[in-house]
Amino acid sequence: MTDITGKGLFGYFGLYDWFYSLSQSDREKIFSYYNNFTTDPNDLIRGEIYYTSNTATKLLTDLARNALGQKDHRLCDLLLDKAKYILKTKQDKEYYDTMLEIITQEKSYIPDRGDINIYENKVLKLIIDEPGILQSDVPKKFTESERTLVGYALSQLKYAEKIRRENSGRSFKLYTTNINLNKR
């Protein structure tokens, strides 16, 4: 039997080596996605496990759903693939199938962060080229199929404080901020 002392949930479920085979960036993201439902993400890799009602499948599919909530489709898929690979019980299979269906439905309307980043650059360029453009006019500069991504991009740019908004009737005039825009 392998000693799992100090290897946390991943050690308990036999996922410790798999976790450390991932890139540091992916490991950090998994920590942050785990932190969505606990106060200490280090529970994943260190500490004693006294009792858990989770299974490896439940842990990984829940992490996958959190990854999707962060619009990280690639890591969501990686976690789902690992969860499928380690199914052990009928209950695991049922839980996996249910979560896979939920995640598949959510994926159909949650865009991937990479796509949003592309549109952030396009929207930012538009605002630089047309300072004071009305926020309500920005989606009109794109095709119907691009408008959802444009909305997410506008939200991300505002949140990152790369654009500022000034009230203008029922909309906002948009301007870039003084933040170094070359950091992208």
Q: Is the pLDDT of residue 100 over 70?
A: yes
CA distance 112 to 91: 30
Query: From the CB of residue 184, how many other CB atoms can be counted at a distance below 10 Å?
Result: 10
pLDDT digits (tens, 9 = 90+) for 30-68: 988 886 655 566 677 776 665 566 889 999 999 999 999
Mean pLDDT of 80-102: 94
CA distance 5 to 176: 52
Coil, helix or strand for 55?
coil
**Looking at residue 184, what is its pLDDT?**
45
Mean pLDDT of 121-148: 94
Tell me the percentage of the chain whose pLDDT exceeds 90: 60
CATH number of 113-183: 1.10.10.10
Q: Where are the domains of the chain?
A: 8-107, 113-183
**Looking at residue 48, what is its pLDDT?**
61
Q: Is the dihedral of CA 62, 67, 73, 79 positive or negative?
A: negative
CA distance 25 to 34: 14
Coil, helix or strand for 64?
helix
Is the pTM value of this prediction over 0.75? no
Average pLDDT, the chain: 86
